[in-house]
């Protein structure tokens, strides 16, 4: 058996030897190169785009504006996540090139096509654009204010939607009977995913059919959106993703540049290549998070949680990205309350248009924000009530058996209290007082933060897979999910190998090609093994049943009498057998298969499940703060998490550790900042946007203690997003604990040295006796 073993990643051989295939490795020599001219203003009337000088420059093939696209009647980029709203949600048109107004810095204004990228960039600088700048508003709370400039005439007060969920009356009653109410105002800072590979695309138009090779996280969903934009059937598009260098949610979507590349390929009859510059990724891709919340937790006198009430403002940016409205509303609500049994909850979310880049899914997509709020509230409650934070959590934990939350989620169990108790031991909670005392001797403040998390992992429901075995006995598995570095080629191969009696090296995994499968939902929402693995199991079931029938036909035996092990079908006498490779060879001949069986040893599976898995865990961080400078150093991080059955524990460890580092980065370092007056992007490159480095993170200890779920045949729970969901509140609770030693209150994320220093300076002076 290979499942459950930490075998090395099969794909790493080609990555480490320079044989990975990315979009930029696939450009034909005769490809033309595209560059996009972008708005330098956050909000302005667009009067004229003069391209005459640019067109005359060496190497320039053509320059296009919105006027050129208008003749082809392209539809706006779609928002696929329309959420329920008190008043109908406002979805303004999002053109691929700005028409009469620009609404955020970096919005696409013109497309330059040249024989090389340098010539196209030079030509972009020669385009003269006439703008009339307008007042801009760049944060959601201000945008909803009475004096804010209007971004869209159809959205009075810049409100996108007003989303309500939960039981208002029951929640009000819970607060009315509460002995204690804890309130916080919290900000989940805007961040950028910063995948190592920027977005890129290679577009063709041949034989009346489009082909797009791009850096994405799935192909079928993007194909559906392209069909909408071009007003063509889906089969007019062939989409492929080669190797992709990270995504974290930011590559899930259809971007204007993909439409422009395809349109130009059709217009010019040439292959069109586009590669984003790093600065374009910050200004013109997509951002994540950006949620301001007022939250209240109601508690009984004995510490039991009675109710949770959250009112938030979600900054959606200037346009609505594909699933942006889903993240702070429906997705958030599924994880609201975290791992706690809270009988009454209510959520109100107001979406706001601002003059900023659209906000959409980023690793966790609403679940990090929900978990952050409840965990910060619980920690504040423990401090306010003088209770032990871990003990307060334990007494309010969800039961390990099936439980339906106040938001309607049927949580199918976990090791909630057990993992919290285990965390206490493996993190040496008993020795913390001594560690704090030692830090104090060095004039340092040492804080310990405990936090839990509950993810609701699924993403889009349903998935597709196919499996085939060739005459050599090698297997090929096609899957509708898409790896962006998670190791899918290894984990899927382990599953197939176990079932077919092969080694993982004898299994080829194919993905991200609309010609491989009729459909697929890509990756996102920690769904791949849950739903993709489930589809693969169905395909394997069908393939083995077909192989059994063919084997029985060849052996002239009853199919029920055959046993399969070690790659061959054997009869009870153990003298007669046939290998899977021999069955595959015979299956190629229509005369060698039973009547009614199609030739070829291949089968497919469609997993129609819409069930959710519930990864969860308990984590602790210890952080040392220098009160003279505000510098915070993360000295220890320990996680005890439940991801169900583990196909490859090493890959799970890697996924969790990577997510934790991203969550630590959000808590301590990362923030997209716009200038409040001009709307200019202050943190527009890695010179200003701080990512965590190796010396910012200690050796992260991850203990995997899980319970198998029944929501899929593999018993797995998603692990791809969990770290980013868990780390922010764990880190911030540790910072809050350290600052409490001086009577100071934790700042909003990111807790930079300046913010921590100011919090200490603003702390009330200790009373003198």
What string of H, E and C letters represents the secondary structure of 388-430? CHHHHHHHCECCCCCEECCCCCEECCCCHHHHHHHHHHHCCHH
pLDDT of residue 575: 87
- Among 44, 151, 152, which residue's Cα sits nearest to residue 101? 44
With contact defined as beta carbons under 8 Å apart, do 77 and 303 qualify?
no
Is the peptide bond preceding residue 750 cis, with omega within 30 degrees of 0? Answer: yes
Q: Which residue has the tokens 């972009």?
A: 124
Q: Write down the pLDDT at residue 767.
A: 58
pLDDT on residue 768:
52
Using DSSP's 3-state secondary structure scheme, residue 532 falls into: helix
CA separation for the pair 227, 204 (Å, rounded): 15
The Cβ-side half-sphere exposure at 523, using a 13 Å CA radius, reads: 33
- In this prediction, residue 457 carries a pLDDT of 95
Q: What are phi and psi of 503, to 5 degrees?
A: -100, 155
- Count Cβ atoms below 10 Å from residue 48 Cβ, excluding itself: 9
pTM over 0.85: yes
Question: Exposure string (b/e) for 471-482, b if CB count within 10 Å is 16 or more?
Answer: eebbbbbbbbbb
Percent of the chain with pLDDT over 70: 99
Structure tokens given for 654: 């890697």
Measured CA angle at 688 (ends 376, 108), to 5 deg: 100
Report the alpha-carbon distance of residue 12 to residue 431 in Å, rounded: 40
For residues 33 and 44, what is the distance between their CA atoms, to the nearest angstrom? 28
The Cα–Cα gap between 508 and 490 comes to 9
Q: How far is CA 301 from CA 144, 163, 307, 387, in A?
A: 38, 32, 13, 12
* Order of all β-strands in the sheet with 475-479: 507-511, 475-479, 463-469, 602-607
Closest CA to 471 of 557, 579, 327: 579
pLDDT along the chain (769 residues), means of 10: 96 95 96 98 98 98 97 96 94 98 98 98 98 98 97 98 98 98 98 97 97 96 98 98 95 97 98 97 98 98 98 98 98 98 98 98 97 98 96 96 94 94 97 98 98 96 97 97 94 98 97 94 93 97 98 96 96 93 96 94 97 97 98 98 97 97 98 97 97 96 96 96 97 98 98 98 75
Two tokens, residue 750: 């990111």
pLDDT at 82: 87
Owner of token pair 């480095």: 693
Angle, vertex CA 104, rays to CA 276 and CA 114, nearest 5 = 35
For residue 306, CA distances in Å to 53, 411, 717 come to: 68, 19, 29
d(C-alpha 396, C-alpha 375), whole Å? 12
The per-residue pLDDT for range 77-108, each reduced to its tens digit, is: 999 998 999 999 999 999 999 999 999 999 99
DSSP single-letter state for residue 451? E
User: How many other C-beta atoms can be found within 10 angstroms of the C-beta atom of residue 386?
Assistant: 6
**CA 62 from centroid of its chain's CA atoms:** 37
H or E element, residue 663: helix 649-668
Strand partners, 287: 359
Tens-digit pLDDT profile for residues 130-149:
999 999 999 999 999 999 99
Q: Residue 103's closest CA among 152, 165, 154, 32? A: 152
pLDDT at 45: 98
What is the rounded distance in angstroms from the CA atom of residue 142 to the CA atom of residue 149?
10
């Amino acid at each position: 058996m290979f499942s459950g073993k930490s075998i090395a990643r099969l794909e790493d051989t080609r990555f480490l030897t320079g044989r990975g295939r990315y979009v930029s490795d696939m450009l034909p020599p005769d490809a033309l190169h595209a560059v996009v001219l972008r708005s330098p203003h956050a909000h302005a009337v667009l009067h004229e785009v003069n391209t005459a000088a640019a067109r005359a420059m060496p190497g320039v093939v053509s320059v296009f504006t919105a006027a050129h696209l208008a003749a082809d009647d392209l539809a706006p980029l779609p928002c696929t996540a329309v959420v329920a709203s008190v008043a109908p949600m406002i979805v303004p048109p999002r053109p691929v090139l700005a028409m009469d107004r620009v609404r955020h810095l970096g919005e696409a204004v013109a497309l330059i096509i040249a024989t090389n990228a340098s010539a196209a960039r030079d030509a972009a600088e020669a385009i003269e654009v006439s703008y009339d700048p307008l007042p801009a508003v760049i944060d959601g709370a201000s945008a909803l204010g009475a004096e804010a400039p209007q971004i869209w005439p159809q959205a009075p007060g810049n409100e996108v939607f007003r989303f309500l969920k939960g039981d208002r009356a029951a929640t009000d009653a819970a607060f009315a009977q509460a002995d204690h109410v804890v309130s916080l105002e919290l900000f989940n800072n805007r961040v950028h995913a910063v995948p190592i590979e920027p977005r890129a695309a290679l577009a063709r138009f041949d034989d009346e059919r489009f082909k797009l090779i791009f850096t994405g996280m799935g192909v079928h969903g993007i194909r559906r959106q392209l069909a909408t934009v071009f007003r063509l059937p889906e089969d007019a598009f062939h989409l492929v993703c080669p190797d992709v260098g990270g995504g974290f949610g930011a590559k899930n979507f259809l971007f204007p540049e993909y439409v422009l590349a395809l349109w130009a390929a059709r217009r010019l009859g040439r292959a069109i290549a586009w590669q984003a510059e790093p600065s374009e990724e910050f200004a013109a891709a997509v951002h994540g998070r950006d949620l301001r919340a007022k939250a209240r937790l109601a508690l009984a006198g004995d510490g039991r949680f009675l109710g949770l009430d959250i009112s938030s403002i979600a900054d959606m940016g200037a346009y609505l990205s594909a699933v942006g409205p889903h993240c702070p509303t429906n997705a958030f609500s599924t994880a609201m309350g975290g791992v706690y049994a809270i009988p009454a909850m209510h959520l109100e979310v107001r979406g706001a248009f601002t003059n900023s880049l659209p906000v959409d899914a980023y690793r966790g997509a609403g679940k990090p924000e929900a978990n952050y709020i409840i965990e910060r509230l619980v920690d504040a409650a423990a401090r306010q009530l003088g209770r032990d934070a871990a003990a307060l959590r334990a007494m309010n934990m969800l039961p390990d058996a099936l439980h339906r939350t106040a938001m309607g989620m049927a949580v199918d169990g976990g090791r909630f209290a057990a993992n919290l108790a285990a965390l206490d031991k493996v993190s040496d909670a008993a020795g913390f007082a001594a560690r704090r005392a030692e830090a104090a001797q060095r004039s340092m403040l040492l804080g310990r933060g405990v936090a839990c998390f509950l993810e609701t992992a699924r993403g889009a429901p349903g998935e597709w897979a196919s499996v085939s075995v060739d005459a050599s006995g090698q297997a090929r598995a096609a899957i509708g999910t898409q790896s962006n570095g998670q190791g899918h080629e290894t984990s899927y191969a382990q599953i197939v190998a176990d079932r077919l009696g092969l080694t993982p090296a004898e299994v080829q995994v194919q993905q991200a090609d609309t010609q491989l499968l009729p459909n697929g939902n890509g990756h996102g929402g920690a769904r791949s093994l849950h739903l993709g693995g489930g589809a693969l199991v169905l395909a394997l079931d069908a393939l083995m049943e077909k192989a059994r029938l063919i084997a029985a036909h060849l052996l002239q035996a009853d199919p029920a009498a055959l046993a399969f092990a070690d790659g061959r079908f054997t009869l009870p006498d153990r003298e007669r057998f046939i290998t899977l490779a021999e069955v595959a060879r015979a299956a190629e001949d229509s005369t060698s298969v039973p009547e009614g069986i199609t030739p070829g040893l291949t089968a497919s599976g469609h997993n129609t499940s819409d069930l959710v898995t519930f990864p969860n865990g308990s984590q602790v961080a210890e952080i040392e703060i220098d009160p003279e400078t505000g510098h915070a150093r993360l000295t220890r991080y320990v996680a005890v998490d439940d991801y169900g059955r583990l196909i490859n524990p090493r890959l799970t460890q890697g996924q969790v550790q990577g997510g934790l580092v991203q969550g630590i980065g959000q808590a301590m370092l990362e923030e997209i900042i716009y200038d409040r007056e001009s709307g200019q992007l202050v943190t527009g490159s890695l010179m200003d946007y701080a990512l965590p480095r190796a010396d910012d993170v200690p050796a992260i200890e991850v203990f995997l203690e899980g319970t198998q779920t029944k929501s899929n045949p593999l018993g797995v729970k998603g692990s791809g997003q969990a770290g980013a969901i868990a780390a922010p509140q764990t880190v911030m609770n540790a910072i809050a604990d350290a600052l409490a030693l001086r009577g100071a209150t934790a700042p909003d994320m990111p807790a930079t040295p300046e913010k921590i220093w100011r919090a200490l300076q603003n702390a009330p002076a200790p009373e003198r006796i």
